[in-house]
Amino acid sequence: MRPGSGATTTLLLAAALALAACDWMPGRPREQDRPRNPREITDFATLYANNCAGCHGSEGELGPAREFASPLFQAFLPDPALRNVIREGVPGTGMPAFAKAAGGSLMDPQVEALVSGMRRRWARPSRVDASVLPPYSEADAVAAGYALGDPGRGREAFQRACAGCHGADGNGGEEGGSVVAAAFLGLVSDQMLRTVVVCGRPDLGMPDWREPPPELRLSVQEVSDVVSWLASHRPPDLEPARGASE
């Protein structure tokens, strides 16, 4: 070996290493930053953050709209209804249609990713006793042998179970606001009322149907009754916002 050739080799090696190191520089575009067509995103976290978090909260709770992070709600809401609400929205309410076909921006696989992602993230079947859960909609309840909601019975049930917070006539009390205000009832579907009576808003301090002491709890029949009493406060000329499953 000639003298000095060691130094040359070292230098060459160093240069090669430096060049190879360039591919490890922070400026190298990373695969995850690669721009994607928004229609091809099917990752739940991104889809949820871009489309749902605005109203439903970044963690599925503490948003002005429906809380998702409740295992009870996840058990209560069947897949077809969830899919349908995302796709078509709930006409007359703040929930818009998200499916491309319905004027929204999401493709079918994206809606499916939202449905399955919500289940993965928040459903905890082991923590909910599905056998005592009221049917999702009033129609389901009727099909299961319960009677249609009756406003008269509903008023009594409301005064027993709900008046503590919302006032005897529903106009609001110390803890809860009015649930019979005409504008409020004009903006929500009967199904939304039913869902909130059953699932509550635990994130905002409203208990679900199982939480109160036994003498204050609603029965499955009384859930339909309370909803029908609330709905009876809608001004007569007002068509109820159409519920997703109706």
Partner 1 sequence: MDLRGIGEWFESRLQLGSLYRTTAGHPIPRNSASWWYVFGSATLVCFVLQIVTGICLALVYVPSADEAWTSLEFLNYQQSLGWFLRAVHFWGSNVMVALMTVHMIQVFLMGAHKYPRELTWVIGCVLFIATIGMAFTGQVMRFDQDAYWGLGIGVAIMARIPIVGTALVDLILAGPIIGAETLSRFFTLHVFVVPGLIIAFVTVHLRLVLKRGINEFPVRGKGVVPEEYDEEYAALIEKEGIPFFPDGVDKDIVFSAAVIVAILFCAAIFGPAGPNGEPDPTLIDTVPRPDFYFLSLFAVLALLPPQIETFVLVYVMPVAILLLFLIPFIAGKGAKHPADRPIAVLGVVLICTTISTLAWLGISSPWSPHMDAWSGEPTPVAYVEERSPLELQGAVLIQARQCRNCHALGGRGGQRGPALDDVATRLTADQLTRQILQGGGNMPAYGKHLSPDETTALVAFLRTMRPIGVPGAR
Sign of the CA dihedral running 108, 62, 127, 45: positive
**Count of CB atoms situated within 10 Å of the CB of 187:** 13
- Stretch touching partner 1 by CB under 8 A, among 68-76, 177-185, 209-217, 218-226: 177-185
Provide, rounded to whole angstroms, the least separation between the CB of residue 27 and partner 1.
3
Interface with partner 1, residue 26, by CB under 8 A: yes
Closest CB to partner 1 among residues 32, 131:
32
Interface with partner 1, residue 62, by CB under 8 A: yes
According to CB under 8 A, which one of 6, 38, 80, 109 is a site residue for partner 1?
A: 38
Identify any residues that bridge with 176 across adjacent strands, giving them in sequence order.
none
Provide, rounded to whole angstroms, the least separation between the CB of residue 3 and partner 1.
27
Tokens linked to 102? 């319905």
Q: Are 170 and 233 within 8 A, CB to CB? A: yes
Q: Which amino acid is at 150?
A: D
Provide, rounded to whole angstroms, the least separation between the CB of residue 93 and partner 1.
8
Q: What is the 3-state secondary structure (H, E, C) of 194-235?
A: HHHHHHCEHHHCECCCCCCCHHHCCCHHHHHHHHHHHHCCCC
Interface with partner 1, residue 239, by CB under 8 A: no
Provide the Cα torsion 220, 138, 165, 68; round to 10°: 100
- Stretch touching partner 1 by CB under 8 A, among 6-14, 44-52, 129-137, 154-162: 44-52
Residues in contact with partner 1 by CB under 8 A are 19, 22-23, 25-29, 31, 34-38, 49-55, 57-58, 62-65, 94-96, 105, 172, 176-179, 181-184, 186-188, 204
